[in-house]
Structure 1
Amino acid sequence: MNVLTLILAGGRERRLGILVSQRAKPALSFAGKYRIIDFALSNCTNSGLRRIAVLPDYRPQPLLDHLGLGGPWDLDRRRPNGLFIWQPFRDEFAEDVYRGTAGALNQNRQRLAEAESDVTMVLSGDQIYTMDYRPLLAAHATRDADLTIGVVPVVPEDVHRFGMVTPDEHQRVHEFHEKPLQTSSRWGSMGIYVFKTAALLRRLAEDARDPASSHEIGLNLIPRMVDQDRVFAYPFHGYWQDVGSLAVYWRTQLGMLLDTPPLDIYNPAWVIHTRSEERPPVKFLPGGEVHQSLVSNGCVVEGQVINSVLSPGVHVRPGAVVRDSIIMRDTDIGSGALVDRCVVDGGVVIEERAQLGIGTDLRPNRTEPDHITDGLTVIGMNAHVPAGIKIGRHCRIDPDVTADDLPGHEIPSGTTIMRRNITNA
């Protein structure tokens, strides 16, 4: 079977707020040393798939820097194999942005045809899971399917977040509804699609000609194929998580700290490959303590780290306490500081005695009340938090904020601090 794999990696997930203000979601760090896209890429290489195209769009540069030529995933290979970057382009027929997921495939329709693959597998680059794709591809071939959809069990209260699939006893799909409010189905799409390439090209051409289409795979392409083609479901019962909100992003990473985590990133038979930075080993100095945490290379720990995840190059200085938090690359946490239940982006400076995420006031964030939840406070990339300041819960400190942008030494819960602009709760 000749397989071409496409990884959609261009979307901006607005529920992640300022964490994706300067990068696409697949480029976000996860579990310290990884990026989210590493999981889809590693699943491909561990499954023996060697011809992969990544389709970036929104703020692609951090993702492209991470991917490079594909060496960490053994994809720096001679054509037709290897890692390819299919960015949107402008010509007389196409815009230089992708309009919908099906639109992204359609803009690359000529590339798809020239690849001469029997099967095209389409993945999302923003999900956390490990999966061997070979049984999925085998099931697709055995059933002579035009489309096979990877599906997971979904509880009733979450059906509005999924494309819901209704298969029969032979897994033939007879109904598909994109993010319904209610449904009797209990199977949700994983965003994993295996297409017979000829069928995909035919349906893309039809969708491109439809002026009423939103050019989305779930909203437009799949319903048409369910009506007219052989579409099957492939149930997956392993761990799978779409980290599509700040709370889920935080909660999923802290789940990796459990004695028996839901996803084993230490499995030597299924390595999660990544572009590792050349960093020195972790250093623990006198007074440094770590409890139930992930600490990456290049970190220096002189204070306490409790139930937290530290990306490469984080410095926790004497007397500082980091608890229930995600701290990204090269953040410096000053002496005596407290960081509690926070998500801190890279390059942040937190000066001595600053206190972040304090108090019991859980009033909603005024700017993003539905996105900043669970008592979390989020600090944007390269922000500078001055000494002695107190910041409550459900706060948002935007990228590049400095002491000059802050209204005082106490920031109440629910406050958003913007660069050169302040919105108080």
Structure 2
Amino acid sequence: MDINMGNVLGLVFANMHDTTLGDMTKNRTMGSVMFGGRYRLIDFPLSNMVNSGICEVGVITKSNYQSLLDHLGSAREWDLARKKGGLYILPPFGNVESTLYRGRIEALYGAMSFIKHSRAKYVVLSDCDVITNIDYKPIIEKHVESGADITAVVHTGVYAAEDIKTSTVFNVDGEGRVSSVLIQPELSGTCTISLNMFVMSMEFLTDMIRDSIARGLVSFEKDILQSKCRDLKIKTYEYDNYFSKLTSPNSYMQANMELLNPVNARKLFVPKRSIYTKVSDNAPAKYDINCTVKNSLIADGCIIEGEVENSVLFRGVKVGKGAKVKNCILMQGTEVGSNAQLNNIITDKNVTVDSEHILTSSTEYPMYVAKGAKV
């Protein structure tokens, strides 16, 4: 079956998992959190949709979305600056009856005027908590062939309790149909977890929103997936390619560090399926003749005079003479003074670490330094 991807609407939720990353989302949405040296988390679902042929995308926001607006701009980098279709920012209070949403259904209801004006036949919903390079076309084709009401993208694997307690877990029968749903359970081991990507028809989506709002239902996971899994035909699509699911600051740290392995980087950054982001005209990174850099991602605009090992440095980071940076994520504009030492540290934008200072923490609980802080 050949699906016309021009008949598919993409909806991205920028704020849905803000609490999982702690202080990193204190002043920004999850979608605008930086990742991998140059990207934002929203770059991945947006790029996946564009690469799949989806040319109409709405980004549903809730709060703290100024940095997200600055990043997306005209959406030219994602080829979504179009006369027909393109990118739409959907802030809260999208209609006079909507409120600051408490769940996914209320968020969709707030965007109802946008959704109703779309001519799409199918809808792809995605959050910003999964980092992957996925093609939505075969998922939509399987959804149509199966006659499902909802198709959920899932992965079956062995998970620790920390990862499962922030996830939705599906019990699936032999035909791939969901028989029961567990929401943020306290368990560990082999589970089928939701990757928070869903496919459904436009007709089903709009009917579900209207019916749920009329009944006072706000949570898609609890009130639809869990409560109605026996009434609805909810099918799963097993996804086995590379991905990272962000469930905590530690998982964010590990997801960045995994990119230091070229095997993982090649799985995420696939030829002909680029991950797009805002273009910044910075000078190339500058390396002092006496500096040392090992197994690290160094973005453009960085100035390295000291030692950097097993770290991810974003644009414009400066590491002074004699400074040692190991197992760290240093976001844009961070400055590390001469002879300072950092180990297992995450710094936000424009952090300054003075000369001779030492910051260290454990790999399980990396220290986070807030935006603009001076240490």
Structure 1 length-normalised TM: 0.82
Tell which deviates more after alignment, 10-19 or 57-66.
Answer: 10-19
- How far residue 254 of structure 1 moved from its aligned partner, in angstroms, is 0.8
**2:178 alignment partner in structure 1:** 173
Decide whether aligned partners of structure 1 residues 288 and 182 sit closer, same or farther in structure 2, where only a CA change above 3 A counts: closer
Mapping of residues 21-420 of structure 1, within 5 Å: 21-79=26-84, 81-89=85-93, 92-95=96-99, 97-155=100-158, 157-158=160-161, 159-181=164-186, 186-211=191-216, 213=217, 215-261=218-264, 264-357=267-360, 374-385=364-375
Higher relative CO (CA 8 A, sep ≥ 6), structure 1 or 2?
2
Which secondary structure state, in structure 2, belongs to the residue aligned with residue 226 of structure 1? coil
Tell which deviates more after alignment, 140-149 or 215-224.
Answer: 215-224
User: Partner letter of residue 367 of structure 2?
Assistant: T
Query: Hey, what's the Cα distance between the residues in 2 that align with 1:231 and 1:120?
Result: 15
User: Partner letter of residue 51 of structure 2?
Assistant: N
Query: Hey, what's the Cα distance between the residues in 1 that align with 2:19 and 2:143?
Result: 34
Deviation string for 1:177-202 (max 9, x for gaps)?
32233599831111011011111211
User: Partner letter of residue 209 of structure 1?
Assistant: A
Asked whether the equivalents of residues 265 and 271 of structure 1 are also in contact (C-alpha less than 8 Å), the reply is no
Query: Hey, what's the Cα distance between the residues in 2 that align with 1:204 and 1:228?
Result: 16
Q: How many pairs are equivalent?
A: 368
- Unpaired stretches in structure 2, ≥5 consecutive residues: none
Asked whether the equivalents of residues 29 and 328 of structure 1 are also in contact (C-alpha less than 8 Å), the reply is yes
- How far residue 92 of structure 1 moved from its aligned partner, in angstroms, is 4.2
- Unpaired stretches in structure 1, ≥5 consecutive residues: 363-372, 386-425
User: Partner letter of residue 11 of structure 2?
Assistant: L
Which secondary structure state, in structure 1, belongs to the residue aligned with residue 235 of structure 2? strand
Query: Hey, what's the Cα distance between the residues in 2 that align with 1:13 and 1:85?
Result: 18
Query: Hey, what's the Cα distance between the residues in 2 that align with 1:375 and 1:85?
Result: 34
Deviation string for 1:317-339 (max 9, x for gaps)?
11111100000001111111111
- How far residue 161 of structure 1 moved from its aligned partner, in angstroms, is 3.0
Query: Hey, what's the Cα distance between the residues in 2 that align with 1:332 and 1:296?
Result: 14
Which secondary structure state, in structure 1, belongs to the residue aligned with residue 114 of structure 2? helix
Decide whether aligned partners of structure 1 residues 185 and 346 sit closer, same or farther in structure 2, where only a CA change above 3 A counts: closer
User: Partner letter of residue 232 of structure 1?
Assistant: K
User: Partner letter of residue 38 of structure 2?
Assistant: K
Tell which deviates more after alignment, 320-329 or 114-123.
Answer: 114-123
- How far residue 163 of structure 1 moved from its aligned partner, in angstroms, is 1.5
Deviation string for 1:207-256 (max 9, x for gaps)?
11223x3x111111223542323221111011222223111111111111
Decide whether aligned partners of structure 1 residues 343 and 383 sit closer, same or farther in structure 2, where only a CA change above 3 A counts: same
Decide whether aligned partners of structure 1 residues 15 and 107 sit closer, same or farther in structure 2, where only a CA change above 3 A counts: closer
Query: Hey, what's the Cα distance between the residues in 1 that align with 2:207 and 2:67?
Result: 34
Identity %: 27
Deviation string for 1:58-110 (max 9, x for gaps)?
2000011111121111111112x101111112654222x22211110122223
- How far residue 260 of structure 1 moved from its aligned partner, in angstroms, is 2.4
- How far residue 344 of structure 1 moved from its aligned partner, in angstroms, is 0.7
Tell which deviates more after alignment, 260-269 or 57-66.
Answer: 260-269
RMSD: 2.0
- How far residue 381 of structure 1 moved from its aligned partner, in angstroms, is 0.6
User: Partner letter of residue 247 of structure 2?
Assistant: G
Decide whether aligned partners of structure 1 residues 121 and 259 sit closer, same or farther in structure 2, where only a CA change above 3 A counts: closer
Asked whether the equivalents of residues 164 and 185 of structure 1 are also in contact (C-alpha less than 8 Å), the reply is no
User: Partner letter of residue 373 of structure 2?
Assistant: A
Asked whether the equivalents of residues 316 and 333 of structure 1 are also in contact (C-alpha less than 8 Å), the reply is yes
Asked whether the equivalents of residues 303 and 319 of structure 1 are also in contact (C-alpha less than 8 Å), the reply is yes
- How far residue 52 of structure 1 moved from its aligned partner, in angstroms, is 0.6
- How far residue 270 of structure 1 moved from its aligned partner, in angstroms, is 2.0
- How far residue 292 of structure 1 moved from its aligned partner, in angstroms, is 0.1
Decide whether aligned partners of structure 1 residues 347 and 170 sit closer, same or farther in structure 2, where only a CA change above 3 A counts: same
User: Partner letter of residue 94 of structure 1?
Assistant: S
User: Partner letter of residue 61 of structure 2?
Assistant: P
Decide whether aligned partners of structure 1 residues 48 and 355 sit closer, same or farther in structure 2, where only a CA change above 3 A counts: same
Which secondary structure state, in structure 1, belongs to the residue aligned with residue 263 of structure 2? coil
Structure 2 length-normalised TM: 0.92
Query: Hey, what's the Cα distance between the residues in 1 that align with 2:306 and 2:186?
Result: 47
Which secondary structure state, in structure 2, belongs to the residue aligned with residue 113 of structure 1? helix
